[in-house]
Amino acid sequence: MTAERIDGKAFAASLRERVGEHAAQFEASAGRKAGLAVVLVGEDPASQVYVRSKHKATVAAGMESFEHRLPADTSEEDLLALVDRLNADEAVDGILVQLPLPDHLDEQAVIASISPDKDVDGFHVTNAGRLAVGQSGFVPCTPLGCMMLLTERLGDLSGLEAVVIGRSNIVGKPMAQLLLDANATVTIAHSRTKDLPSVVKRADIVVAAVGRAEMVKADWLKDGATVIDVGINRLPPTDGEEKGRLVGDVDYAGAKSVAGAITPVPGGVGPMTIAVLLRNTLVAAYRNADLQVPDGL
Protein backbone atom coordinates (compact mmCIF):
# COMPACT_ATOMS: atom_id res chain seq x y z
CA MET A 1 0.00 0.00 0.00
CA THR A 2 1.16 3.52 -0.67
CA ALA A 3 -0.18 6.22 1.58
CA GLU A 4 -2.18 9.10 0.20
CA ARG A 5 -0.08 12.26 0.30
CA ILE A 6 -1.92 14.96 2.25
CA ASP A 7 -1.29 18.08 0.21
CA GLY A 8 -1.06 20.84 2.80
CA LYS A 9 0.26 23.27 0.23
CA ALA A 10 -2.88 22.95 -1.92
CA PHE A 11 -5.17 23.03 1.12
CA ALA A 12 -3.41 26.16 2.41
CA ALA A 13 -3.76 27.84 -1.00
CA SER A 14 -7.50 27.20 -1.03
CA LEU A 15 -7.84 28.47 2.55
CA ARG A 16 -5.93 31.63 1.64
CA GLU A 17 -8.21 32.17 -1.31
CA ARG A 18 -11.29 31.77 0.90
CA VAL A 19 -9.81 34.18 3.45
CA GLY A 20 -9.14 36.64 0.63
CA GLU A 21 -12.79 36.54 -0.48
CA HIS A 22 -14.04 37.07 3.07
CA ALA A 23 -11.43 39.82 3.62
CA ALA A 24 -12.95 41.74 0.70
CA GLN A 25 -16.43 41.28 2.19
CA PHE A 26 -15.12 42.43 5.57
CA GLU A 27 -13.70 45.57 4.01
CA ALA A 28 -17.04 46.28 2.31
CA SER A 29 -18.97 45.82 5.59
CA ALA A 30 -16.55 47.47 8.02
CA GLY A 31 -15.25 50.25 5.78
CA ARG A 32 -11.67 49.29 6.53
CA LYS A 33 -9.31 46.40 5.91
CA ALA A 34 -8.58 43.75 8.53
CA GLY A 35 -5.11 44.45 9.96
CA LEU A 36 -2.28 42.31 11.29
CA ALA A 37 0.67 43.77 13.20
CA VAL A 38 3.84 41.68 13.30
CA VAL A 39 6.64 42.60 15.70
CA LEU A 40 10.17 41.32 15.12
CA VAL A 41 12.90 42.03 17.63
CA GLY A 42 16.45 41.44 16.44
CA GLU A 43 17.87 39.84 13.32
CA ASP A 44 17.34 36.10 13.69
CA PRO A 45 17.58 34.94 10.03
CA ALA A 46 14.80 32.32 10.22
CA SER A 47 12.49 34.84 11.92
CA GLN A 48 13.23 37.42 9.23
CA VAL A 49 12.17 34.92 6.56
CA TYR A 50 8.95 34.07 8.44
CA VAL A 51 8.08 37.72 9.01
CA ARG A 52 8.60 38.55 5.34
CA SER A 53 6.36 35.65 4.26
CA LYS A 54 3.68 36.71 6.74
CA HIS A 55 3.77 40.25 5.37
CA LYS A 56 3.46 39.11 1.76
CA ALA A 57 0.66 36.67 2.53
CA THR A 58 -1.27 39.29 4.53
CA VAL A 59 -1.12 41.82 1.71
CA ALA A 60 -1.99 39.14 -0.88
CA ALA A 61 -5.13 38.28 1.11
CA GLY A 62 -6.28 41.91 0.95
CA MET A 63 -5.46 42.75 4.55
CA GLU A 64 -3.33 45.50 6.04
CA SER A 65 0.11 44.49 7.30
CA PHE A 66 1.88 46.59 9.94
CA GLU A 67 5.48 45.54 10.43
CA HIS A 68 7.49 46.66 13.43
CA ARG A 69 11.17 45.78 13.37
CA LEU A 70 13.00 46.62 16.56
CA PRO A 71 16.73 46.35 17.32
CA ALA A 72 18.00 43.30 19.23
CA ASP A 73 18.79 45.43 22.29
CA THR A 74 15.24 46.82 22.62
CA SER A 75 14.24 47.06 26.29
CA GLU A 76 11.27 45.14 27.63
CA GLU A 77 9.71 48.45 28.60
CA ASP A 78 9.84 49.70 24.99
CA LEU A 79 8.48 46.42 23.61
CA LEU A 80 5.60 46.40 26.11
CA ALA A 81 4.87 50.03 25.23
CA LEU A 82 4.63 49.10 21.54
CA VAL A 83 2.28 46.20 22.32
CA ASP A 84 0.14 48.61 24.36
CA ARG A 85 -0.11 50.98 21.42
CA LEU A 86 -1.09 48.11 19.11
CA ASN A 87 -3.69 46.89 21.65
CA ALA A 88 -5.27 50.34 21.51
CA ASP A 89 -5.01 50.80 17.72
CA GLU A 90 -8.37 50.18 16.04
CA ALA A 91 -6.74 49.45 12.69
CA VAL A 92 -4.94 46.48 14.24
CA ASP A 93 -7.04 43.31 14.64
CA GLY A 94 -4.26 40.83 15.25
CA ILE A 95 -0.88 41.15 16.98
CA LEU A 96 1.93 38.66 16.54
CA VAL A 97 5.25 39.00 18.33
CA GLN A 98 7.66 36.74 16.49
CA LEU A 99 9.38 34.19 18.74
CA PRO A 100 12.02 33.49 19.88
CA LEU A 101 12.76 36.84 21.51
CA PRO A 102 16.31 37.83 22.48
CA ASP A 103 17.32 36.32 25.85
CA HIS A 104 16.95 39.51 27.89
CA LEU A 105 13.22 39.73 27.09
CA ASP A 106 10.66 37.71 29.04
CA GLU A 107 8.49 35.95 26.41
CA GLN A 108 5.71 35.12 28.86
CA ALA A 109 5.46 38.73 30.01
CA VAL A 110 5.32 39.96 26.42
CA ILE A 111 2.66 37.42 25.40
CA ALA A 112 0.66 38.30 28.53
CA SER A 113 0.64 41.96 27.48
CA ILE A 114 -1.15 41.24 24.17
CA SER A 115 -4.91 41.74 24.33
CA PRO A 116 -6.43 38.21 24.22
CA ASP A 117 -8.87 39.47 21.57
CA LYS A 118 -5.94 40.37 19.29
CA ASP A 119 -3.83 37.32 20.15
CA VAL A 120 -4.08 35.62 16.76
CA ASP A 121 -1.24 33.23 17.72
CA GLY A 122 -3.43 31.87 20.51
CA PHE A 123 -0.49 31.93 22.93
CA HIS A 124 -2.04 34.07 25.69
CA VAL A 125 -3.06 32.09 28.81
CA THR A 126 -6.60 33.39 28.35
CA ASN A 127 -6.80 31.74 24.95
CA ALA A 128 -5.11 28.55 26.22
CA GLY A 129 -7.74 28.52 28.99
CA ARG A 130 -10.60 29.14 26.58
CA LEU A 131 -9.43 26.20 24.49
CA ALA A 132 -9.12 24.01 27.61
CA VAL A 133 -12.72 24.69 28.70
CA GLY A 134 -14.24 24.73 25.21
CA GLN A 135 -14.92 28.47 24.84
CA SER A 136 -14.26 30.21 21.56
CA GLY A 137 -11.00 32.13 21.47
CA PHE A 138 -7.90 31.88 19.31
CA VAL A 139 -6.21 28.53 18.73
CA PRO A 140 -2.50 28.35 17.81
CA CYS A 141 -2.13 28.28 14.03
CA THR A 142 -0.10 25.10 13.53
CA PRO A 143 -2.33 22.71 15.51
CA LEU A 144 -5.47 24.29 14.06
CA GLY A 145 -4.02 23.73 10.58
CA CYS A 146 -3.28 20.08 11.45
CA MET A 147 -6.87 19.69 12.61
CA MET A 148 -8.19 21.08 9.32
CA LEU A 149 -6.08 18.55 7.39
CA LEU A 150 -7.27 15.70 9.63
CA THR A 151 -10.96 16.52 9.40
CA GLU A 152 -10.73 16.98 5.67
CA ARG A 153 -9.15 13.55 5.32
CA LEU A 154 -11.09 11.62 7.98
CA GLY A 155 -14.33 13.52 8.55
CA ASP A 156 -15.60 12.56 12.01
CA LEU A 157 -12.73 11.78 14.42
CA SER A 158 -15.05 10.45 17.10
CA GLY A 159 -13.65 7.43 18.96
CA LEU A 160 -10.40 7.34 17.01
CA GLU A 161 -7.13 6.73 18.87
CA ALA A 162 -4.85 9.74 18.52
CA VAL A 163 -1.26 9.93 19.72
CA VAL A 164 0.40 13.34 19.87
CA ILE A 165 4.17 13.15 20.21
CA GLY A 166 5.42 16.34 21.86
CA ARG A 167 3.94 18.49 24.62
CA SER A 168 4.84 22.07 23.71
CA ASN A 169 2.46 24.92 24.48
CA ILE A 170 2.52 25.89 20.80
CA VAL A 171 1.73 22.53 19.21
CA GLY A 172 1.45 19.40 21.39
CA LYS A 173 -0.86 20.63 24.15
CA PRO A 174 -3.33 22.58 21.97
CA MET A 175 -3.32 19.73 19.42
CA ALA A 176 -4.35 17.30 22.14
CA GLN A 177 -7.14 19.66 23.26
CA LEU A 178 -8.48 19.97 19.72
CA LEU A 179 -8.46 16.21 19.21
CA LEU A 180 -10.21 15.71 22.54
CA ASP A 181 -12.82 18.28 21.55
CA ALA A 182 -13.39 16.24 18.40
CA ASN A 183 -14.04 13.17 20.59
CA ALA A 184 -10.83 11.31 19.79
CA THR A 185 -9.16 9.22 22.50
CA VAL A 186 -5.97 11.16 23.06
CA THR A 187 -2.53 10.22 24.36
CA ILE A 188 0.24 12.79 24.69
CA ALA A 189 3.64 11.13 24.40
CA HIS A 190 6.95 12.87 25.13
CA SER A 191 10.62 12.31 25.81
CA ARG A 192 9.95 10.37 29.03
CA THR A 193 7.28 8.09 27.51
CA LYS A 194 8.17 4.42 27.96
CA ASP A 195 8.11 2.25 24.84
CA LEU A 196 7.04 4.99 22.44
CA PRO A 197 6.83 2.58 19.45
CA SER A 198 4.11 0.53 21.15
CA VAL A 199 2.19 3.68 22.15
CA VAL A 200 2.29 4.91 18.55
CA LYS A 201 1.25 1.45 17.28
CA ARG A 202 -2.28 1.84 18.62
CA ALA A 203 -2.86 5.19 16.95
CA ASP A 204 -5.32 5.78 14.12
CA ILE A 205 -3.93 9.34 14.10
CA VAL A 206 -0.30 10.23 14.80
CA VAL A 207 0.77 13.87 15.17
CA ALA A 208 4.55 14.13 15.44
CA ALA A 209 5.83 17.42 16.87
CA VAL A 210 9.14 16.72 18.57
CA GLY A 211 11.75 18.28 16.29
CA ARG A 212 13.85 15.13 15.85
CA ALA A 213 14.66 14.19 12.28
CA GLU A 214 12.92 11.00 11.07
CA MET A 215 12.45 9.68 14.60
CA VAL A 216 9.11 7.94 13.96
CA LYS A 217 9.74 4.74 12.02
CA ALA A 218 7.49 2.81 9.66
CA ASP A 219 7.27 -0.23 11.94
CA TRP A 220 5.90 1.94 14.80
CA LEU A 221 2.77 2.70 12.78
CA LYS A 222 -0.54 0.87 12.64
CA ASP A 223 -1.57 -0.12 9.11
CA GLY A 224 -3.58 2.66 7.52
CA ALA A 225 -2.82 5.29 10.19
CA THR A 226 -3.15 8.97 9.30
CA VAL A 227 0.17 10.68 10.00
CA ILE A 228 0.61 14.43 10.47
CA ASP A 229 4.26 15.46 10.56
CA VAL A 230 4.85 18.86 12.16
CA GLY A 231 8.63 18.55 12.24
CA ILE A 232 10.92 20.61 10.02
CA ASN A 233 14.51 19.43 10.50
CA ARG A 234 17.52 20.03 8.32
CA LEU A 235 19.84 17.05 7.92
CA PRO A 236 23.60 17.62 7.74
CA PRO A 237 24.67 18.06 4.09
CA THR A 238 25.92 14.95 2.35
CA ASP A 239 28.48 14.91 -0.49
CA GLY A 240 27.63 17.38 -3.22
CA GLU A 241 24.87 19.09 -1.23
CA GLU A 242 25.24 22.72 -0.23
CA LYS A 243 22.54 22.42 2.43
CA GLY A 244 21.17 19.26 3.98
CA ARG A 245 17.68 18.03 3.07
CA LEU A 246 14.62 19.16 5.01
CA VAL A 247 12.91 16.24 6.70
CA GLY A 248 10.11 15.81 9.19
CA ASP A 249 9.90 13.92 12.49
CA VAL A 250 8.67 10.86 10.58
CA ASP A 251 10.68 8.61 8.29
CA TYR A 252 8.52 9.50 5.27
CA ALA A 253 10.06 7.04 2.82
CA GLY A 254 9.37 4.10 5.15
CA ALA A 255 6.09 5.36 6.60
CA LYS A 256 4.38 5.84 3.26
CA SER A 257 4.17 2.09 2.71
CA VAL A 258 2.35 1.57 6.05
CA ALA A 259 0.31 4.73 6.66
CA GLY A 260 -3.07 5.37 5.03
CA ALA A 261 -2.23 9.04 4.54
CA ILE A 262 0.71 11.23 5.46
CA THR A 263 1.80 14.86 5.19
CA PRO A 264 5.09 15.42 3.34
CA VAL A 265 7.89 17.73 4.54
CA PRO A 266 8.07 20.27 3.03
CA GLY A 267 4.59 20.95 1.63
CA GLY A 268 2.46 19.43 4.39
CA VAL A 269 1.80 21.21 7.67
CA GLY A 270 4.23 24.10 7.06
CA PRO A 271 2.13 26.08 4.54
CA MET A 272 -0.95 25.72 6.76
CA THR A 273 0.48 27.88 9.56
CA ILE A 274 0.42 31.19 7.68
CA ALA A 275 -2.94 30.40 6.05
CA VAL A 276 -4.46 29.82 9.51
CA LEU A 277 -2.80 33.00 10.82
CA LEU A 278 -4.63 34.96 8.11
CA ARG A 279 -7.84 33.15 8.99
CA ASN A 280 -7.42 33.93 12.71
CA THR A 281 -6.70 37.58 11.88
CA LEU A 282 -9.86 37.88 9.83
CA VAL A 283 -11.91 36.20 12.58
CA ALA A 284 -10.42 38.75 15.02
CA ALA A 285 -11.42 41.56 12.66
CA TYR A 286 -15.04 40.41 12.46
CA ARG A 287 -15.22 40.07 16.24
CA ASN A 288 -13.50 43.40 16.91
CA ALA A 289 -15.92 45.11 14.49
CA ASP A 290 -18.92 43.40 16.17
CA LEU A 291 -19.81 41.68 12.91
CA GLN A 292 -20.91 38.06 12.59
CA VAL A 293 -18.00 35.76 11.72
CA PRO A 294 -18.99 34.11 8.41
CA ASP A 295 -19.52 30.34 8.32
CA GLY A 296 -16.75 28.36 6.74
CA LEU A 297 -13.91 30.64 7.80
Rounded least distance, CB 71 to ligand GUN, Å: 18
Least CB distance to ligand GUN at residue 45 (A): 13
Range 90-119, binding ligand GUN (CB under 6 A): 96-99
Least distance from ligand GUN to the Cβ atom of residue 98, Å: 5
Q: Does 121 bind ligand GUN (CB under 6 A)?
A: yes
Rule CB under 6 A: say whether 141 interacts with ligand GUN. yes
DSSP letter assigned to residue 190 = -
- Between residues 3 and 110, which has the closer beta carbon with respect to ligand GUN? 110
What is the rounded CA–CA span in Å between residue 8 and residue 14? 10
When the beta carbons of 138 and 220 are compared against ligand GUN, the nearer one is 138
> Which x/- pattern over 46-85 shows residues binding ligand GUN (rule: CB under 6 A)?
----------------------------------------
Residue type at 197 in one-letter notation? P
Question: Which CB, 141 or 146, lies closer to ligand GUN?
Answer: 141
Q: What is the distance between the alpha carbons of residues 126 and 5, in angstroms, rounded to a whole number?
A: 36
Beta strands (DSSP E) in 1-118 are 4-5, 35-41, 64-70, 94-97
Q: Which residues are catalytic?
A: 54, 98, 121
Query: For residues 63-99, b (16+ Cβ closer than 10 Å) or e, as one string?
Result: bbbbebeeeeebeeeebbebbeebeeeeebbbbbbbe
The pairing of beta strand 205-208 with beta strand 226-229 = parallel
State which amino acid sits at residue 121. Answer: D
**Contact positions vs ligand GUN (CB under 6 A):** 96-99, 121, 141, 273
